Amino acid sequence: MANNNRDRAAPVPLSQVVIDSGFWAERQRVNRERTIPAIYRQLEETGRIKAWSMARTHDIPKERSTVHMFWDSDTGKWLESVAYSLATHPDPDLKAQAEALIDAVAGAQQADGYLNTYFPVLHPEGKWTNLRDWHEMYNAGHLIEAGVAYHQATGDPKLLDVLLRFATHIDATFGVDDGKLRGYPGHPELELALVKLYRETGQERWLNLAAYFIEERGQEPRYFDIEAARRGEKREDFWAQTYRYCQAHAPLREQTEANGHAVRACYLYAGIADVALETGDEELLTLSRRLWDDLTRRQMYLHGGVGPSHSNEGFTFAYDMPTETAYAETCAAIALAFWAQRMFHLDPDSRYINIMERAIYNGSLSGLSFDGAGFFYANPLAAYPGVNPMGRWSGILDSGHFRRVDWFFCPCCPPNISRLIASIGEYSYSQQGNRVYVQLYHENSAAFDVARQGFSLEQVTEYPWDGTIVFEVNAEQPVSFELALRIPDWCHDYQLLVNGERIEVELERGYALLPRQWSGGDRVELALAMPVERVLPHREIRQVAGQVALQRGPLIYCLEEADNGPRLANVCIPSTTELEAIFDGELFGGVAVIKGEALRIELSPDNSALYRFHSREQVAESTFRFRAIPYYLWANREPGEMRVWLRSC
Amino acid sequence: MANNNRDRAAPVPLSQVVIDSGFWAERQRVNRERTIPAIYRQLEETGRIKAWSMARTHDIPKERSTVHMFWDSDTGKWLESVAYSLATHPDPDLKAQAEALIDAVAGAQQADGYLNTYFPVLHPEGKWTNLRDWHEMYNAGHLIEAGVAYHQATGDPKLLDVLLRFATHIDATFGVDDGKLRGYPGHPELELALVKLYRETGQERWLNLAAYFIEERGQEPRYFDIEAARRGEKREDFWAQTYRYCQAHAPLREQTEANGHAVRACYLYAGIADVALETGDEELLTLSRRLWDDLTRRQMYLHGGVGPSHSNEGFTFAYDMPTETAYAETCAAIALAFWAQRMFHLDPDSRYINIMERAIYNGSLSGLSFDGAGFFYANPLAAYPGVNPMGRWSGILDSGHFRRVDWFFCPCCPPNISRLIASIGEYSYSQQGNRVYVQLYHENSAAFDVARQGFSLEQVTEYPWDGTIVFEVNAEQPVSFELALRIPDWCHDYQLLVNGERIEVELERGYALLPRQWSGGDRVELALAMPVERVLPHREIRQVAGQVALQRGPLIYCLEEADNGPRLANVCIPSTTELEAIFDGELFGGVAVIKGEALRIELSPDNSALYRFHSREQVAESTFRFRAIPYYLWANREPGEMRVWLRSC
């Protein structure tokens, strides 16, 4: 079924993109030095490392309930992040640590290829009995991604081979053939991992298995009903009450809206795009565009986060965008970025990459502290210290929602943001034939091979703090390729110079195309105007009606109490205020802040009256100079209020 | 320990207040004709009536789990409501129905006086083993209130005698004496019921038992820990995680803030006020004032609802007032009215009655549909169809939060609003020595006895639609008493005429006092100016910063989609708009609506962009004439949006 069109667009591998300076170099340094070690320490302390040896050593924690069925995915994502890091920054100690863990993983594999820390030891009869709720396939997917990444990074096939055996076991167990179970993942993720496995090995069976999971999902009779009946349960007993939660309420080809648990949804949709790309299935492309449009035009937060609701960690309904209680899980924004990148390669248009950039720089990056060792699960658009958006009451507040924490009971987000940062090079360029797409602007040097001509591009820029990007071509000999520069949707005014000469081009699907025979030393300068913009919400978004947000370039900004004092709800940004972007070299290693005049409009503090009549009151207005910081940096100073959307007056 | 100061303030009994016309006559008619029968039908259909005979008939529902441990309280509140109704509107059929039920209740009483439908039959070993979570004492309290009310209304002591035997059993089981358990109610309510029992019987033991429950609450060692240990549980296992939930986190005399489950809190505080009144305990008076000030100055919604959070059905922290997700349970506003009335009699000041009036006319009355057979549990200050403020996801919305329903799994609110309406006469006047306080203005005729002189007052008014109230004295002979007219806190301009002559008086604790020798035919006219007021929130209430609400007289208003179209979040009320109150005789039997010019400010509908830059957009402003209706009448037409707080511009 594979579509072997080799002329299609594909990401340029991260091993070809050297990031030694600029925005992402610093984020990657912190990831290597702080985040990867901090996550390993947590894996160790929580027993996740030792768990791989439980079957052999019988060293089972006394409190068996501390071992959880999603643990293996944390190992998987950590190994994947390490692989990306090793690919660009070799580190023998880290490699040795990873290899010891890979040995432990390999040692836990059962004779039939099955691989899981939880079930063989703690619940052997539970194996493959509840695909809906238990995470065996989800874990498998993350381990497969790690196996592929580790093989690509180091050439070492050990983990990949282990996972190929596990994938073989899964393929033998699930499918439409007689004697197989017609199951599919409760928590999608395996689909996209199998496509990676297919691409890495060239073995079509993995693509076919991914395609099977996508076709089977939501078909009648529902597999989740069948397995529930085997467990003596009814459909109504499902705790989430609806298969929308796991996107299995209808066959995928019939689905029209992004639904349910947001991370599941975006991983699944990414898998659909992968299969569509590999098979050339036009209906899956149409489905992908339909879901994409629904999600990004009706259900996406300004910061690229998705899934407003805590109770299902997911979607509610169109235009429902609570701010303080937004869930907008870090993993969901990351998953949206994954999906966006795949959509581009399926349907090359900058609109996908614009969203990818939004999700990466805002709703994903906010999941990590500036120092690299604190994590957010939820990414609200407003915060008030002491509020618990989970809806619990005071006294038992979950501080994880206005202050980043070391770890979570379900720590899916920490290794996810780590692997995204480690692999940012892979999101920077795409190539299609002799066209080189520049997707993300940041300082780096990337090597390309176009029609067997090698050359490299040096990208020099202060982006995202400044909109000027300079490219220098390094080539021994003249080389013919088309440079496709993304003109971001936030930019309405730009200049393009080639070797100092102004060039005007028509955009094609959001890209400025520069086909040319290039020579070493050729220089392209792209100047994206980056004014501070006031963002207005769609008229159906009731929660922020009458409010504005501030954006500059790809970055969404916020006001914090640390800069602006308390009671940010009473702060108004006049529509006439001049908004200035100022680079502050002292703040967080140097960031552009936004300043301007704002009003604080409020009644005098009379503590004996909660409500007063306007006819008898003077409302005080005072002016002050506000300072807004990039949203992704919020909650890195003393705890306090934060708001993205501000009253407009 | 009783304080026998008979000169203290007390409510005038409802049997002395005849309500044959005006606002409450109509509400009482609907209550008698629709609400009381509808609730009985539900009691019957859900098995609550039959449950009283389970022990004798062994006719136990197949699904035992349908029987719940709070069922008896529903019977209690229905009987109480019936008693109040019979007191003013005799009805032989209703009386016969009540008496059959009373017989069933009596038949369920055990030899030792214990009375409960659930435990003896379904869980005999559970009796009195979990005061914290199970509702035996709560049920007892509601049944005692019913017993007292039924005795007062009909003179029939049967139910009262049953409850006296149950109270005797409770008194023998709990207390500080050797051999007794030092327990107290997990859900307070019994305290105030025991004070009613004391007042009805004159037996001090019931006052002492109420006082014991109040003193013991929150003392170390905590009884809830002791009984949990007996059940093999630890404190940490408590599902609510904190004894703040049930106000047992500290001895009551040390408490400083309204905390936890709002209905529990207000019933408890009402009981404290009752005990303080009966014992003259100054420290309990101080405690009551402290809790009152905290609740009404920092934690009360504009409509008199309390308890913003769904998860604990209760309080969160000061100034936390979410609108769309407000819980503000109907029962909590009613309980606040109960407490307010008691605070007045403990500390005669109109500030308590002002809040009582606010809670009754707004956050309580909204719990009942205009037709009398639909109920709200939560009373949000904004509604958007399809939103589930419980935080569940779309597809399984609980429509009970934007549309009233017939009944609830835990139907505490329906009989509560029914008993409040049936007994409104008891909230109308208070008497202290020769002073007659007029608390609520509404059309009625009330009989008084001051120093053995009988007389009556005829109150003629269109209140709450109009602020003019006329009193006529009916007396055979001249009678000396002081008429104390409450000047509501919402009124800043009033005129007082006695027999046509303008009188100026200094207010004393919020009342205009008219001491006089009155003769039959004397006429007092009070004209309360009732302009439409724009209400502004305290500067700490972040959720409605920059917004205004409309109030006229005691009524809070709201905009509904039925009158004003959708997207109410985009509606702004200019500060210069003239606001008119207009009586609409067609709407809901005749109500004053508020009209004025409003703006609808919004972007054009571009469904391809959730967020747009102001620099590139025109924001459209259109003017329309809005219509606001009283909040308590919302959700009686087609489902749609509703907002109390509106953007101001």
Helix or strand run (H / E) with residue B485: strand B479-486
Q: Given this model, what pLDDT does residue A393 score? A: 37
Report the pLDDT averaged over residues A31-45. 97
Least confident of B91-105, B205-219, B378-392: B378-392
Q: Do B296 and A549 touch (CB under 8 A)?
A: no
Encode pLDDT of A301-328 as tens digits.
999 999 998 888 999 999 999 999 899 9
Q: What is the mean pLDDT of residues A434-446?
A: 98
Contacts of A41 (CB under 8 A, 6+ apart): none
Q: What is the pLDDT of residue B479?
A: 96
Work out the pLDDT band at A397, boundaries 50, 70, 90: very low
Of A492, A551, A611, the CB nearest to B302: A611
**In the predicted model, what is the mean pLDDT of chain A?**
94
Residue B579 above 70 pLDDT?
Answer: yes
The angle formed by the CA atoms of residues B397, B399 and B404, to the nearest 5 degrees, is 170
Distance CA A331, CA A328 (A): 8
pLDDT reading at B513 higher than 90: yes
Q: How far apart are CA B315 and CA B482, in angstroms?
A: 40
Residue A481: pLDDT above 70? Answer: yes
Listed in order, the ranges of chain A carrying CATH 1.50.10 are 10-427
The C-alpha atoms of residue A613 and residue B489 are separated, in whole angstroms, by 11
Q: Which of A436, A367, A432 is nearest to A405 (CA)?
A: A367
**Cβ contacts of B386 within 8 Å, gap of 6 or more:** A317, B394, B397, B402
Residues of chain B in contact with residue A607, where contact means CB-CB under 8 angstroms, are 297-298
Say which of B244, B300, B535 has its CB closest to residue A395.
B244
CA distance B256 to chain A (A): 15
Q: Verify whether the Cβ–Cβ distance A545 to B395 is below 8 Å.
A: no
Residues of B in contact with A384 (CB under 8 A): 542
User: What does pTM read for this prediction?
Assistant: 0.95
pLDDT of residue B312: 87
Read off the amino acid at residue A546: G
d(CA A351, CA A353): 6
Measured distance CA(B265)–CA(B246) in Å, rounded: 7
B interface test, pick of A327, A394, A492 with most B CB neighbours within 10 Å: A394
Report CA A173 to chain centroid distance, whole Å. Answer: 31
pLDDT tens across B19-72, in order?
Answer: 999 999 999 999 999 999 999 999 999 999 999 999 888 888 877 778 888 999
pLDDT at B391: 45
Partner-chain contact A575 B614, CB within 8 Å: yes
Rounded mean pLDDT of B496-518?
A: 97
pLDDT range class, residue A533, cuts 50, 70, 90: very high
Task: Choose among B267, B236, B268, B239: nearest CA to B255.
Answer: B268
Token pair 């109907």 is found at B330
| Per-residue pLDDT at A386 exceeds 80 | no
> Within the 37-66 window of chain B, which residues sit less than 8 Å (CB to CB) from chain A?
none
Q: What is the pLDDT of residue A67?
A: 83
Helix (H, G, I), strand (E, B) or coil at B87: helix
User: Tell me, what DSSP letter sits at residue B600?
Assistant: E
Q: Report percent pLDDT > 90 for chain B.
A: 89
Q: What's the confidence (pLDDT) of residue A394?
A: 33
pLDDT at B390 over 60: no
Would you call A297 and B608 a contact, using CB atoms and an 8 Å cutoff? yes
> How sure is the predictor about A391, in pLDDT bands with cuts at 50, 70 and 90?
very low
Interchain contact A491–B (C-beta under 8 A): no
B553 Rama class: left (phi>0) / alpha (psi -120 to 50) / beta: left
Distance from CA of A618 to the nearest CA of B (A): 11
In angstroms, the CA A455 to CA B237 distance is 65
Q: Do A394 and B315 touch (CB under 8 A)?
A: yes
Q: How confident is the model at residue A567 (pLDDT cuts 50, 70, 90)?
A: very high
Which pLDDT belongs to residue B388? 59
Q: What is the pLDDT of residue B397?
A: 40
Question: What is the pLDDT averaged over residues B377-385?
Answer: 92
Comparing C-alpha atoms, which of B50, B198, B217, B227 is closest to residue B130?
B227
pLDDT, tens only, A177-212: 999 999 999 999 999 999 999 999 999 999 999 999
- B 450-479 residues with CB below 8 A of A? none
- Kindly tell me if the per-residue pLDDT of A1 is higher than 80: no
Closest-CA residue of B relative to A241 is B396
Cα separation, A289 vs B153, whole angstroms: 70
Report yes or no: A516 and A323 within 8 Å, Cβ to Cβ.
no
- Name the token pair of B181: 């358990």
- Judge: B393–A314 Cβ closer than 8 Å, yes or no: yes
Residues in chain B: 649
Instruction: For chain A, positions 570-589, list CB contacts with chain B under 8 A.
Output: 570, 572, 575
Supply angle C-alpha B415, B421, B426, rounded to 5: 120
Strand ranges inside A507-554, DSSP E: 507-508, 511-518, 523-528, 532-537, 547-552
CA neighbours closer than 13 Å in the CB half-sphere of residue B175:
17
Domain with CATH 2.60.420.10 in chain A: 432-528
A356 three-state secondary structure: helix
The reply to whether A612 touches chain B by the CB within 8 Å rule is yes
pLDDT digits (tens, 9 = 90+) for A568-600: 999 999 999 999 999 999 999 999 999 999 999
pLDDT in tens, B527-536: 999 999 999 9
3-state DSSP percent of chain A in helix, strand and coil, to 5? 40, 20, 40
* pLDDT value at A390 more than 70: no
Interface test with B, best of A610, A612, A618, A647 (most B CBs within 10 A): A610
Q: What is the pLDDT of residue B29?
A: 98
Q: Which of A533, A569, A570 sits opposite B615 (nearest CB)?
A: A533
CATH 3.40.50 fits B10-427, yes or no: no
Query: How far apart are the C-alpha atoms of A544 and B567, rounded to whole Å?
Result: 12
B474-499 pLDDT tens trace: 999 999 999 999 999 999 999 999 99
Average pLDDT over residues B408-424: 94
Listed residue (A323, A192, A336) closest to A263, CA to CA: A336
Please state, in angstroms and rounded to a whole number, the distance separating the CA atoms of residues A641 and A571: 12
Mean pLDDT within B314-327: 92
Distance in Å, alpha carbon of B404 to nearest chain A alpha carbon:
22
SS3 content of chain B, % helix, strand, coil (to 5): 40, 20, 40
Q: Is the pLDDT at A392 greater than 80, yes or no?
A: no
* Among B residues 198-217, those touching chain A with beta carbons less than 8 Å apart: none
**B389 has a pLDDT exceeding 60:** no
How would residue B96 be classed by pLDDT, with cut points 50, 70 and 90? very high
pLDDT > 70? residue B393? no
Q: What does pLDDT average to over chain B?
A: 94
> Is pLDDT of A398 > 60?
no
Answer yes or no: do B614 and A387 touch at CB < 8 A: no
Q: Rounded to an integer, what distance in angstroms lies between the CA atom of residue B597 and that of residue B627?
A: 9
**Per-residue b or e along A440-456, where b marks 16 or more CB atoms closer than 10 Å to that residue's CB:** bbbbbbbbbebeebebb
Residue type at position A151: H
Pick from A341, A499, A493: which is nearest to A420 by CA? Answer: A341
In chain A, residues with a C-beta closer than 8 Å to the C-beta of B601 are 546
Q: Rounded to the nearest 5 degrees, what angle is found at the Cα of A21, between the Cα atoms of A15 and A27?
A: 80
Report the residue of chain B nearest A540, measured CA to CA. B567
DSSP B549-568: EEEETTEEEEEEHHHH-S-G
Dump pLDDT digits (tens) for B277-318: 999 999 999 999 999 999 999 999 999 999 998 888 999 999
Beta bridge partners of A555: A552
By CA distance, what is A383's nearest residue in B? B542
Catalytic residues of A: 313, 412
Which amino acid is it at A562? A
Residue of B42, B37, B32, B117 whose CA lies nearest to B73: B117
Cα A266 from Cα B565, distance rounded (Å): 35
Residue B405 has a pLDDT of 87
Which of B520-543 are b and which e, b meaning 16 or more Cβ less than 10 Å from the residue's Cβ?
eebebbbbbebbbbbbbbbbbbbb
As a whole number of angstroms, the distance between CA B253 and CA B238 comes to 24
* pLDDT at residue A240, rounded to an integer: 87
Tell me the shortest Cα–Cα distance from B218 to chain A, in angstroms: 16
DSSP state of A309: B
> What integer pLDDT is reported at residue A135 of this predicted model?
95
Distance CA A423, CA B443 (A): 76
Chain B positions touching A315 (Cβ under 8 A) are 393-394
Contact yes or no for A339/A277 (Cβ under 8 A): no
> What pLDDT is attached to residue A607?
76
Identify the residue whose tokens are 């030092």.
B182
Per-residue pLDDT reduced to its tens digit, B338-359: 999 999 999 999 999 999 999 9
Query: Is the pLDDT at A389 greater than 60, yes or no?
Result: no
Chain mean position to CA A447: 25
Q: Please give the residue of chain B at the shortest CA–CA distance from A643.
A: B542
Q: How confident is the model over A61-69, as a mean pLDDT?
A: 81
Sign of the dihedral through C-alpha B373, B374, B375, B381: negative
Tokens encoding B561: 């989609």
Out of B316, B611, B612, whose CB is closest to A394? B316
Instruction: Indicate the pLDDT class of residue B325, thresholds 50, 70 and 90.
Output: confident
Partner A contacted by B174 (CB < 8 A): no
Residue with tokens 């300043």: A595
What integer is the mean pLDDT of A337-353?
98
Place of tokens 């699944």: A268
* Omega prior to A221 cis, within 30 of 0: yes
Classify domain A432-528 at the CATH topology level: Maltose phosphorylase, domain 3 (2.60.420)
Strand spans (E) along B15-114: 17-18
- Chain A residues touching B311 at Cβ < 8 A: 390-393
Q: Is A234 on the interface with B (CB under 8 A)?
A: no
Q: Is residue B501's pLDDT more than 80?
A: yes
B412 catalytic? Reply is yes
